[in-house]
Structures are given as C-alpha cells and as structure tokens.
Structure 1
Amino acid sequence: MVVDNLSNATIYFSLHPLFKKAFDFIKTQDIEKIEPGSTQLEGDSLKVSVSETKMKTKSEAKLEIHQKYIDIQIPIKQKETFGWSSSTHLKNSVKGYDAINDIEFFNDAPSTYFTILPGEFAIFFPEDGHAPLIGEGETKKIIIKVAVM
C-alpha cells in the first residue's frame, strides 16, 4: 500500500509501467469538476472511474481485495477513511472471489485505519485488503484500475 500527495506521484512511476499514464491523466483533469463515469485509458489494462456515493460507518465497510487490478483511489469532495489489513490475515470471506468483477469481500476487522484528504491518494495492491468509503455524508472520488502485470 502507498499513501501520498498527488504532487509526489512521480516517485511511484517505477512501481508499474502504467502508473505514469494514470497520474498524467489525473494531472490533465480539473478534478473538482470531473464528471461521474468511466474511461478506458489503455483498454482493460488501465481504467478510470469517477463516482459519487454515500459514505459508510466502520462497521458497514467491508474489507475487499482484487486479484487482477491495483486500485489507485483519490477522494475529490472530502476526506475518506480506509480500513486496511494484509490479505494474508483475511479468513472470513463473505461469498468467495467474484472473478467477473475482480472482488472478494471479507467480514474480518481491519488491522488499522487511515484517512486521506482531497489531493492525496492511496494505492492498493492485490495483497492489500482495504475497506473504502468510511466517513459521513456523500462523496465523490476517482478510482483507477491498473492491471496487474
């Protein structure tokens, strides 16, 4: 997992060949005015989704993992808290892995919580169980899906 400010994104370009393209896309956007929807930047290998959704309480938020994609999550409207736990500690799957949607939810409790602000981002790799959208009210965020290579 990585947590940092968007101004430091170049530090992480070497972690994946598509990270530069992902963050370059974000730099070209007026993030405050970006409209909800999905964009494919590099076919199924690099996808951007902007969503507006209701935040959850810690007890409502489920840890999730992805096997095929790395998540880059960027809050736009307000701060967002995430639960986190190493996937090696996740034992209580809700329904098993959904290969079509590349997601598996868990009833396990996160080992830690952290909060990021607009202008910051979190990168979750397949080994990072994460429970997003913890907070109050409605939020708007960007999720970039980067295919594992």
Structure 2
Amino acid sequence: MIFGHINQPLTYAYLPPILKQAISYFQQTDMYNLPVGRHDLNEDLLYINVMEFDSQLAEEKQAEVHQEYIDIQFLVSGRERIGFGLENSTNQITKEYDSLNDYYLVASISDESEVILSPGMFAIFFPEQPHKPGCCMEKPIPLKKAVIKMHKSLLV
C-alpha cells in the first residue's frame, strides 16, 4: 500500500511512470464534477469508477481483495478510514472470487493497519492486498471518491 496527496509530489515522485500518470489524472480532471459511474481511460486495462455513498462503521464491513487490478483510490470529498493488511491464508473468505468484477471478500484482515484519507489524498492497493475502504471515523458521512482500476499487466 502506498499513499500520498496529489498536491505533494514527493509522496509519489518515485513511483513507476504509469502510476504517476494515473495520479496526474486526478490533478488534471475536475473530480468534484465528474459524474458517478465508470469512465474508460484505456478500455478494460485502465478505467475509473466514480462513486458517492455514505461511509460505514468498520465493523459492519468486510475487506475486499483483487487478483488482476491495482486500486488507486482517491478521495474527492469527505473523510475516509481504510483498513488494510497483507495477504494471509488465515483471512477467512466470505465471498468467493468474482472474476467478472475481480474481487473476493474476507471477514477480517490479519494484523490490520489503517490510513485516513482527506480530500486530495490517494491510496494504492496492489493485487492480493486486502483493504476495507469506505469506513467512517466516528459516524457515517457522505463520501465522493474515484478509484482508478489499473490492470497489473500495465505495471510489469
């Protein structure tokens, strides 16, 4: 997991060029007014999902894990807590892998850590890294976020 802020270039200066290009998309686009939904950037290899929803208590959520895509999660508005950790065979799978949507769910994350995102911040999760986005700090609040889905083949 890597995190930073789009207005602090040193937080992403040493990333591979393709990841820096994705982050620059957030800088060059009016994310606040980008409509909710999927926006293709390079067909199925690179696209962005824009969503608006209310955050939830962490204990009400399960963690998601991807196999094919890297998530570059960007917070447009609100304040979000994201739990994350390392892949661990003891993480109990609660929803089997959905290949169409590239995810499976686990009940909890072993040795969970967390990151707090404010508007303008991003967090990058690589395949097989469990993460629990959309968690609230104290009580649920409205969030707007955008997630760039980057196929792992673009990084190698």
TM-score of the alignment, normalized to the shorter chain, above 0.5: yes
2:95 aligned counterpart, secondary structure: coil
Deviations 1:113-138 (A, max 9, x none): 22111111000001321000001222
CA–CA distance in structure 2, aligned partners of residues 90 and 115 of structure 1: 25
> Aligned in 2, Cα 1:90/1:98: closer, same or farther, shift over 3 Å?
farther
CA–CA distance in structure 1, aligned partners of residues 74 and 118 of structure 2: 8
1:88 aligned counterpart, secondary structure: coil
| RMSD, matched Cα | 1.7
* Partner residue in 1 for 2:2: 2
Alpha-carbon contact 1:90-1:108 (below 8 Å) kept: no
Alpha-carbon contact 1:65-1:104 (below 8 Å) kept: yes
How many correspondences in the alignment? Answer: 147
* Partner residue in 1 for 2:103: 103
Deviations 1:68-98 (A, max 9, x none): 1000001111111001121125520002211
Unmatched segments (≥5 aa) in structure 2: none
Task: Give the counterpart letter for 1:87 in structure 2.
Answer: E
Q: Identity over aligned residues, as a percent?
A: 29
Alpha-carbon contact 2:91-2:109 (below 8 Å) kept: no
CA–CA distance in structure 1, aligned partners of residues 83 and 72 of structure 2: 15
> By how many angstroms is 1:30 displaced?
1.6
1:129 lines up with 2:119 in the alignment? no
* Partner residue in 2 for 1:114: 115
Q: List 4+ stretches of structure 1 deviating above 6 A.
A: none
Alpha-carbon contact 1:47-1:145 (below 8 Å) kept: yes
